[in-house]
């Protein structure tokens, strides 16, 4: 059985259990919960919740991020996104998007309470490549132009500026920031200002790329923190899956996906 088939089997096995689907629903409602918080919301014993979360983590549907002594659990949409791209997207994407838009609009009308805070966004994908190849794909201007449509330009040293410059000939810059940490080929942390040059007191968000190799596979975790508002969260929640799926396709097949990657900084403009 291929690695891809095994991964798909784990996803469907994890989703087959109603309790695990309920855990995912609770994380969708409030991402980044501790085990204690999940148990309190579901009135579930810690041992039972831990067993279900382990299954979800093995299927890459849940990602755990450590903050000090706490383990925060985040819903990871990568496996479901990849299933969608494989079996759904090529068949009836326009109609499905229209139906989904109507559904979300109805849900917004039905909501009575606004969220009090914007959570951190976490996305995990597995790429058949080396850590060095993934690092180069994130930092090489020519490679980012291929799968993102923008050149990521910097010397990638701590404290240096970086720019996300369009590769369409306009030379416009859509994102700027600063390199906070650079530990090739394992960890890259940058600030992410999607309104460069604008007069704003808004704090820049922060993106962390964590590259963890295992044999011939790399686990790439992207964490986007300090999001200013729900609109930004909505934009990157559609942007990162598309961009990283394109990166994965380029490294594994040498080709990018047929659709253009989502431009997250325009999604909420």
**What CATH code is carried by the domain that includes residue 43?**
1.10.10.10
Report the number of distinct structural domains present in the chain.
Answer: 2
Question: For residue 42, what pLDDT is reported?
Answer: 83
102 pLDDT more than 50 = no
How many other β-carbons are positioned within 10 Å of the β-carbon of residue 80? 16
Using an 8 Å Cβ cutoff, are 170 and 192 in contact? Answer: no
Is 85 inside a domain boundary? no
User: Do 72 and 122 fall within a single domain?
Assistant: no
- Give the least confident one: 122-126, 181-185, 207-211, 227-231: 227-231
pLDDT winner (highest mean) among 73-77, 79-83, 262-266? 73-77
Q: Give the C-alpha separation, 188 to 222, whole Å.
A: 10
- DSSP per-residue string spanning the chain: --HHHHHHHHHHHHHTSHHHHHHHHHHHHS-SB-HHHHHHHHT--HHHHHHHHHHHHHTTSEEEEEETTEEEEEE--HHHHHHHHHHTHHHHHHHHHHHHHHHHHHHHHH--S--SSPPPEEEEEEESS-HHHHHHHHH-HHHHHHHHSEEEE----TT-EEEEEESSSS--EEEEEEEEEEETTTEEEEEEBSSTT----PPPEEEEEEEEEETTEEEEEEEEE---SHHHHHHHHHHHHHHHHHHHHHHHHS---SSPPP-TTTTT-
Q: Would you say the pTM of this structure is higher than 0.85?
A: no
Across the chain, mean pLDDT equals 82
Is 96 inside a domain boundary? no
User: Do 242 and 138 fall within a single domain?
Assistant: yes
User: Do 44 and 121 fall within a single domain?
Assistant: no
User: Do 57 and 136 fall within a single domain?
Assistant: no
User: Do 123 and 243 fall within a single domain?
Assistant: yes
208 pLDDT more than 50 = yes
User: Do 70 and 136 fall within a single domain?
Assistant: no
What's the CATH number where 128 sits? Answer: 3.30.530.20
Question: For residue 113, what pLDDT is reported?
Answer: 43
- pLDDT of 2-56, one tens digit each? 555 577 889 999 999 999 999 999 998 888 999 999 998 888 899 999 999 999 9
251 pLDDT more than 60 = yes
117 pLDDT more than 70 = no
Question: For residue 238, what pLDDT is reported?
Answer: 84
- Determine the structural domain holding residue 24 and report its residue range: 3-76
User: Do 148 and 241 fall within a single domain?
Assistant: yes
User: Do 176 and 231 fall within a single domain?
Assistant: yes
Question: For residue 107, what pLDDT is reported?
Answer: 42
User: Do 128 and 35 fall within a single domain?
Assistant: no
Question: For residue 68, what pLDDT is reported?
Answer: 82
Is 262 inside a domain boundary? no
- Give the least confident one: 111-125, 172-186, 187-201, 235-249: 111-125
Is 179 inside a domain boundary? yes
Question: For residue 256, what pLDDT is reported?
Answer: 87
User: Do 52 and 134 fall within a single domain?
Assistant: no
User: Do 124 and 184 fall within a single domain?
Assistant: yes
Is 209 inside a domain boundary? yes
149 against 93, higher pLDDT: 149
């Amino acid at each position: 059985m291929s690695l891809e088939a095994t991964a798909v089997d784990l996803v469907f096995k994890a989703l087959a259990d109603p309790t695990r689907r309920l855990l995912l629903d609770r994380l969708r409602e409030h991402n980044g919960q501790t085990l204690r918080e999940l148990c309190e919301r579901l009135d579930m014993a810690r041992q039972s919740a831990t067993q279900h979360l382990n299954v979800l983590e093995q299927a890459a549907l849940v990602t755990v991020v450590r903050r000090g002594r706490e383990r925060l659990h985040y819903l990871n949409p990568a496996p479901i996104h990849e299933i969608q791209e494989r079996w759904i997207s090529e068949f009836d994407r326009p109609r499905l998007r229209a139906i989904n838009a109507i559904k979300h609009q109805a849900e917004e009308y039905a909501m009575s309470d606004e969220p009090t805070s914007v959570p951190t966004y976490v996305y995990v994908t597995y790429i058949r490549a080396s850590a060095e190849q993934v690092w180069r794909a994130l930092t090489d201007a020519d490679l980012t132009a291929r799968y993102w449509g923008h050149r990521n330009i910097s010397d990638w040293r701590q404290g240096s500026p970086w720019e996300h410059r369009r590769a369409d000939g306009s030379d416009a810059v859509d994102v700027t920031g600063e390199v906070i940490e650079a530990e090739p080929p394992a960890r890259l942390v940058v600030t992410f200002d999607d309104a460069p040059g604008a007069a704003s007191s808004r704090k820049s968000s922060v993106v962390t790329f964590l590259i963890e190799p295992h044999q011939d596979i790399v686990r790439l975790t992207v964490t986007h923190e300090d999001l200013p508002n729900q609109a930004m969260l909505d934009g990157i929640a559609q942007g990162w899956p598309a961009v990283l799926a394109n990166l994965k396709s380029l490294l594994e097949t040498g080709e990018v996906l047929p659709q253009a990657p989502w431009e997250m900084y325009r999604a909420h403009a």
